[in-house]
């Protein structure tokens, strides 16, 4: 009897981070399912780093990465290279995750081959197609192309219902990033080497920063950098750590404005285990990342979001995150409030994580098994 086949397609580190518990759990169903792992390598180094650590070996590597690649090139290369693979493999369902250009292109390519798409982390919205860019449109278009929608929260489910998605196709599962985080925390992994990062964090409040979104390129990122410089000048008891994204549009600005500044550590992107360790050691986090808004609450870390809007309003409503934008003075005031006001800090640090209990991957796989009509066999 032919095994049912699932194609998992991803291309960036955030995607593999949220896919890894799915990949691990699918190994329990090898007698029913064949898994085909396809990577686009939209982000090469950071993707490889994570796959190597988890010993994940793709069946196909499209290797589309090139320096300063445009969104058009990513989309065209992904669709064209996926076509023959999907025709030859004939998967019964394709799984994609999140809101990357790989996610959208893989969904469209699957649609062209009439392959059902399961969208993990479906239904997130800012309802502003330019923020975040291009992620808001990537996930919106992926929703239109998908058959199964794995929404992390009730709000995400309601967003999909507003679009006219059939309620029977939407499943609230929690977010798989919490599964991955718990997997790491349960292993008690602490790999942040002293050679990688030398800090005075025992005596200073450590502030972790990540900023790399396209809508923050240029003046917004310059404002962020100036605010960070203001913070260390005015507050000698803090230390900033900024793993700087590989994109030249980020690195050129960040290194020109912050390199050599006292108490500001500009470091290379970390593997995810070191990244989790750094989050756990931090006092608070400044970020334009979506995933960190989901992860940090499980570590009890307040998140100040360096964007004008967020597709994860649950974190804001729960009190674990606050959207502060990229205005220099506003960043400075909000950070100083948390480092000087213990009551305000504790309100955010003790809030409940709204994104799940670490069992999202179990729920997603059971739904897929049901969809493939093999639920009576497991």
Sequential DSSP letters for 144-176: HH-SEEEESSHHHHHHHHHTT--GGGEEE---H
What percent of the chain is predicted at pLDDT more than 90? Answer: 67
Q: What is the DSSP letter of 2?
A: P
Between 216 and 150, the more confident residue is: 150
- What does the chain come to in residues? 378
Q: Any idea which fold 4-175+357-371 has?
A: Rossmann fold (3.40.50)
214 catalytic residue (yes or no)? yes
Domains in the chain: boundaries: 4-175+357-371, 205-349
The reply to whether 135 belongs to the active site is yes
pLDDT value for 187 = 66
Average pLDDT over residues 62-84: 90
* Marked catalytic residue, from 121, 239, 311, 314: 121
The reply to whether omega before 132 is within 30° of 0 (cis) is yes
* pTM beyond 0.85: no
Residue 80 has pLDDT above 90, yes or no: yes
pLDDT at 377 over 70: no
- CA dihedral defined by 181, 183, 189, 195, rounded to 10 degrees? -50
Instruction: Say which CATH architecture domain 205-349 belongs to.
Output: 3-Layer(aba) Sandwich (3.40)
Per the structure block, which two tokens stand in for 256? Answer: 């020109």
In whole angstroms, give the CA distance from residue 22 to residue 6.
Answer: 11
User: Among the options 119, 155, 171, 212, which is catalytic?
Assistant: 212
The helix, strand and coil proportions of the chain, stated in percent and rounded to the nearest 5, come to 50, 15, 35
What are the pLDDT digits (tens) for 249-298?
A: 999 999 999 999 999 999 998 877 788 889 988 999 999 988 898 888 88
Hey, do 4-175+357-371 and 205-349 end up sharing a CATH topology, with the first three levels equal?
A: yes
Annotated catalytic, 237?
A: no
Indicate which residue of 15, 92, 99, 288 is catalytic: 99
What is the CA angle 276-282-284, rounded to 5? Answer: 115
**What pLDDT shows up at residue 195?**
38
Residue 370 bears catalytic tag = no
Q: Tens of pLDDT along 208-239?
A: 999 988 889 999 999 999 999 999 999 999 99
d(CA 28, CA 107): 26
């Amino acid at each position: 009897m032919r095994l049912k086949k699932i194609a998992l397609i991803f291309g960036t580190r955030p995607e593999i981070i949220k896919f890894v518990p799915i990949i691990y759990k699918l190994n329990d169903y090898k007698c029913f399912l064949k898994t085909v792992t396809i990577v686009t390598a939209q982000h090469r180094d950071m993707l490889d780093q994570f796959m190597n650590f988890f010993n994940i070996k793709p069946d196909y590597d499209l290797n589309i990465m090139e320096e300063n690649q445009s969104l058009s090139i990513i989309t065209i290369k992904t669709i064209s290279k996926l076509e023959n693979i999907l025709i030859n493999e004939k998967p019964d369902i394709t799984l994609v995750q999140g809101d990357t250009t790989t996610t959208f292109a893989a969904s469209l390519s699957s649609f062209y081959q009439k392959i059902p798409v399961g969208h993990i982390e479906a239904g997130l919205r800012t309802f502003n197609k330019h923020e975040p860019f291009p992620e808001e449109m990537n996930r919106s278009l992926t929703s239109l192309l998908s058959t199964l929608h794995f929404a992390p929260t009730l709000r995400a489910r309601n967003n999909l219902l507003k679009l006219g998605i059939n309620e029977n196709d939407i499943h609230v599962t929690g977010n798989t990033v919490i599964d991955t985080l718990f997997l790491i925390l349960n292993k008690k992994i602490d790999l942040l080497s002293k050679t990688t990062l030398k800090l005075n964090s025992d005596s200073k409040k450590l502030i972790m920063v990540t900023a790399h979104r396209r809508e923050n390129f240029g003046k917004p990122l310059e404002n962020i950098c100036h605010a960070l410089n203001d913070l260390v000048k005015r507050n000698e008891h803090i230390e900033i750590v900024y793993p700087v994204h590989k994109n030249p549009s980020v690195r050129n600005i960040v290194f020109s404005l912050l390199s050599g500044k006292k108490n500001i550590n500009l470091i290379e992107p970390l593997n995810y285990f070191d990244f989790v360790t750094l989050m756990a050691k931090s006092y608070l986090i400044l970020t334009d990342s979506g995933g960190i808004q989901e992860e940090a609450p499980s570590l009890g870390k307040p998140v100040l979001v360096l964007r004008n809007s967020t597709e994860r309003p649950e974190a804001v409503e729960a009190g674990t995150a606050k959207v502060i934008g990229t205005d220099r003075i506003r960043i400075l005031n909000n950070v100083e409030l948390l480092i000087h006001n213990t009551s305000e800090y504790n309100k955010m640090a003790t809030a409940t994580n709204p994104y799940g209990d670490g069992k999202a991957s179990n729920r997603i796989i059971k739904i897929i098994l049901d969809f493939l009509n093999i639920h009576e066999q497991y």
